[in-house]
Amino acid sequence: MNKQLRGSLCLLLTALIWGLAFPFQSRATEHVSAFVFTAARSLITFAALSPFFFVRRRATAVPDAPMASYIKIGLPLGAILFLATVLQQLGLMDPNASSAKSGFITSLYIVIVPLLGLFIGRKVSLNVWISVLFSLAGLCLLCLKETLGVTPGDLLTLGCALTFSLHILAVDRFAANLDSAKLCALQFGASGIFSLIIALAFERADFSGLRDCWLELLYVGVLSGAVGYTLQIVGQKHTNPTLASLLMCLESVFAALGGWMILREPLSPKELLGCALMLAACVLAQLPQKKRQRLRA
C-alpha cells in the first residue's frame, strides 16, 4: 500500500469517526453549555494523548523534534481550532440559524482550501476541481433543506469554514516532521484552556452536567479527538491538502448515514443522491491524471 493511499484511508476513517460523533454531541448539549463541553472534550483528548510525551520515538532517519518546536506549532494550531469552534457556535446562536445551513456553510472549506492553496504556490489538478464541484452539489442535496438567506450567523459560520481551511493548510505545511500524537495533544490542550477561559469569563459555567454525559465525552474526547485528529495529521502528511479536505468533508455523509442507521432518521432520495455525489467526488479526486488521459484517448 503506497503512502498516499494509506493517508487517504486515514482521512476516510477520520471522517467516519467525526460523522458518527454528531449523535453524541447532540445529546451532550442537553446537559452542558457549548464552551464547557468544548473545554471538557479538548482536555480529555489532551489527557488521552499526553502519555506520548513520555514515549521515545524509535530510531528513524528523521529524529524527533525538540519540545520547543511542538509548542511553537501546537499552540497556534490549538488557537485556530478553538477559533473555528467558537465561530461555529456563535453562528448557531443566531435566531435565524439552522443546522442545515450551518453544516453546508462550514463544509465550504472544500472550496476554500484549494483557493487558499493557490496563494502559497499549490497547484490543483483539473480532476480535483471537478471533484470540488461534485462535492458542492452533493452537500447542497444533503444539507440544504430550507430557504437560503444571509444572516449575521451565516457570516460567522463562513468565518468558521475559513478558519478550518487555515487549520488544514497549517497542518499540511508545519506538521510533516513532528510526531502526530504529540502535536495533536498540544493543540487540544491549548484549545481546551482557551475554551475553559471563555466558559468562566463569559458563561455561567456549570460543570455538574458533565457527569450526565460522560459517555458522550468519552466518544468525542477519545475517539473523535485523540484518534480522529491524530489520524488527520497522519493522513495529511501523505495527502494533498485539497484531497484531504474532500475526504474529511465526508463527515457530513457519515453523519447522515449514522443518523439513519443508529437513530433511525430517514434519508430522502435527494439526500441519498447527495451522498453518492460526494463519494464519487472522492473517487474521482484520487484517479491518476495520466491514467484518465489514456482512458480519454
- Give the model confidence (pLDDT) of 25-64 as tens digits: 777 777 888 788 889 988 999 999 888 777 655 544 445 6
Cα–Cα distance measured from residue 4 to residue 76, given in angstroms and rounded to the nearest whole number: 27
Write out the three cell numbers for 240. 494533498
pLDDT for res 97: 60
CB 234 within 8 A of CB 57: no
pLDDT band at residue 291 using 50, 70 and 90 as cut-offs: very low
Higher pLDDT, 225 or 255: 225
- pLDDT per position as a tens digit, 259-278: 777 767 677 788 778 878 87
Cα–Cα distance measured from residue 175 to residue 27, given in angstroms and rounded to the nearest whole number: 33
46 burial via Cβ count (<10 Å: 0-12, 13-18, 19+):
buried
Percent share of the chain, pLDDT over 90:
12
The SS3 call for residue 121 is coil
Matching residue, cell 513520555? 54
Report whether pLDDT(207) > 60: yes
What separation, in Å, do the N-terminal and C-terminal C-alpha atoms of the chain show? 28
Domain boundaries, the chain: 3-54+62-123+148-238
* Average pLDDT estimate for 150-164: 82
Please provide the average confidence, as pLDDT, over all residues in the chain. 78
When mean pLDDT is compared across 19-33, 134-148, 242-256, the lowest value belongs to 134-148
Measure Cα distances from 253 to 17, 139, 154, 231, 256 in Å.
Answer: 11, 9, 21, 18, 5
Cα–Cα distance measured from residue 11 to residue 251, given in angstroms and rounded to the nearest whole number: 10
Report whether pLDDT(93) > 60: yes
Q: Which of 153, 117, 144 is nearest to 240 (CA)?
A: 117
Matching residue, cell 456549570? 206
CB 121 within 8 A of CB 201: no
The SS3 call for residue 177 is coil
Q: Which of 5, 1, 62, 82 is nearest to 238 (CA)?
A: 5
Got the DSSP string for 217-268?
HHIIIIIIIIIHHHHHHHHHTTS-HHHHHHHHTTHHHHHHHHHHHTS-----
pLDDT band at residue 223 using 50, 70 and 90 as cut-offs: very high
Higher pLDDT, 211 or 123: 211
| pTM of this structure | 0.74
Got the DSSP string for 16-71?
HHHHHTHHHHHHHTTTS-HHHHHHHHHHHHHHHHGGGGGSPPPP-SSPPPPHHHHH
